[in-house]
């Protein structure tokens, strides 16, 4: 015990002497203190190796100046801004939304040109429909007014739906084969009837008999609105989308669709048509949805918003790694 105490006292005396010689150079002072601490620790361990318990261990504290240099190194390595997944994703958002907005601008121009072209076709006078229609040219004449003469085949009537009108009332569109006087047969989309008049027995007045002349728009078929729309079932005469090819095959007709026009004000539709069992035909205007302006505003707004968020994020100072400061211990 006395030997260990004497050794520790001698070690502190030597440390004080060495510190006085290197007091002008902080780095040398730290090196000397570290070397002395290691030597003193080994000396104490040797003196107490024959005992079961170590009397004491000298554990020096690091120099505050050395610790400050270590802290600066840590800040230089970890204090800079990191491009993590969130930052990278936020940086990509303005690029993607700007591209989508620009694409919608192009779609808007295309839709406006299409509507103007179709309106110009509808303004032309009706033309007789040829006996044999070139199916490859129908798309070029879509929305063109045509005239056909013949009689309706109500026994082959097809119900398309259920579909709703502008007021949300459910019902069905009537697709009736039309035998022309020249011997050919086409499909005529007569119009819409409410669900309670689905059965022909409830709308006998609207079943036109004899030879008539029909004026309407030349149309193509239509695609399914979405994957939620069921598939057509010709065997059960269930039709959810206008498939001109399949309907023509079932009725032995040409896959040509003429949509009847009824230019009647909306407030007279019920009294003049529905109450008299007459199908409600389409209005003589182009009914194409054009929501591209709303999409443009949405995408460009998101582009501006995400750009502002990215700017704020990049301007914010990066978080500093907090390291506790350790006070020097005087021995």
Name the strand (E) or helix (H) holding 162. Answer: strand 158-164
pLDDT at 76: 43
Token pair of 10 as six digits: 């001698």
Residues contacting 16, CB < 8 A, separation 6+:
none
> Under a CB-based contact definition with an 8 Å cutoff, are residues 318 and 81 in contact?
yes
Q: What's the angle, vertex CA 141, arms to CA 190 and CA 119, rounded to 5?
A: 80
Quickly count: other Cβ atoms within 10 Å of residue 49's Cβ: 8
> Could you give the CA distance from residue 9 to residue 12 in angstroms, rounded to a whole number?
5
pLDDT band at 36 (very low <50, low <70, confident <90, very high): very low
> Could you give the CA distance from residue 125 to residue 241 in angstroms, rounded to a whole number?
29
Give the pLDDT confidence of 274-329 residue by residue, as tens digits.
888 889 888 888 888 899 999 999 999 999 999 999 988 888 776 666 666 665 55
pLDDT band at 267 (very low <50, low <70, confident <90, very high): confident
Give the closest residue to 63 by CA, choosing from 99, 37, 97.
37
Task: Tell me the pTM.
Answer: 0.64
Give the pLDDT confidence of 166-188 residue by residue, as tens digits.
778 899 999 999 999 988 999 99
Whole-number percent of the chain with pLDDT over 70 = 71
pLDDT at 167: 74
* DSSP states of 230-279: PPPBGGGTBBSS--HHHHHHHHT--S-EEEEB----GGGHHHHTGGGT--
Predicted confidence (pLDDT) at residue 81 exceeds the cutoff of 60: no
Token pair of 118 as six digits: 């179709």
Give the closest residue to 196 by CA, choosing from 177, 174, 175, 169.
169
- Of 60-69, 134-143, 247-256, the range with the lowest mean pLDDT is 60-69
> Could you give the CA distance from residue 148 to residue 313 in angstroms, rounded to a whole number?
68
For the chain, give every domain's residue range: 2-60, 144-276
Predicted confidence (pLDDT) at residue 74 exceeds the cutoff of 70: no
> Under a CB-based contact definition with an 8 Å cutoff, are residues 160 and 238 in contact?
no
């Amino acid at each position: 015990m006395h030997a260990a105490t004497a050794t520790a006292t001698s070690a502190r005396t030597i440390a004080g002497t060495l510190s006085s010689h290197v007091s002008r150079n902080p780095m040398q002072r730290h090196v000397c203190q570290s070397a002395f601490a290691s030597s003193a620790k080994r000396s104490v361990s040797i003196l107490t190796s024959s005992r079961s318990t170590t009397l004491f261990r000298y554990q020096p504290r690091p120099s505050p100046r050395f610790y400050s240099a270590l802290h600066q190194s840590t800040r230089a390595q970890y204090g800079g801004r990191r491009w993590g997944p969130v930052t990278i994703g936020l940086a990509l958002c303005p690029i993607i939304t700007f591209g989508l907005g620009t694409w919608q601008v192009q779609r808007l121009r295309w839709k406006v040109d299409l509507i103007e072209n179709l309106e110009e076709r509808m303004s032309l006078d009706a033309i007789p429909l040829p006996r044999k229609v070139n199916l490859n040219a129908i798309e070029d004449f879509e929305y063109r007014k045509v005239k056909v003469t013949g009689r309706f085949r109500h026994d082959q009537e097809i119900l398309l739906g259920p579909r709703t009108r502008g007021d949300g009332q459910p019902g069905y569109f009537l697709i009736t084969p039309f035998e022309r006087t020249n011997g050919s047969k086409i499909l005529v989309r007569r119009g819409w009837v409410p669900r309670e008049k689905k059965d022909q027995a409830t709308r006998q007045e609207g079943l036109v008999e004899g030879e008539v002349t029909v004026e309407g728009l030349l149309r193509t078929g239509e695609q399914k609105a979405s994957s939620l729309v069921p598939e057509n079932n010709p065997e059960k005469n269930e039709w959810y989308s206008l498939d001109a090819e399949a309907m023509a095959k079932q009725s032995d007709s040409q896959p040509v669709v003429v949509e009847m026009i009824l230019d009647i004000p909306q407030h007279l539709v019920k009294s003049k048509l529905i109450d008299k069992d007459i199908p409600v035909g389409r209005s003589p205007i182009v009914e194409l949805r054009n929501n591209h302006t709303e999409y443009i505003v949405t995408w460009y707004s998101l582009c501006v918003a995400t750009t502002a968020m990215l700017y704020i994020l990049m301007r914010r100072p990066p978080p500093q790694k907090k390291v506790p400061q350790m006070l020097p211990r005087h021995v």
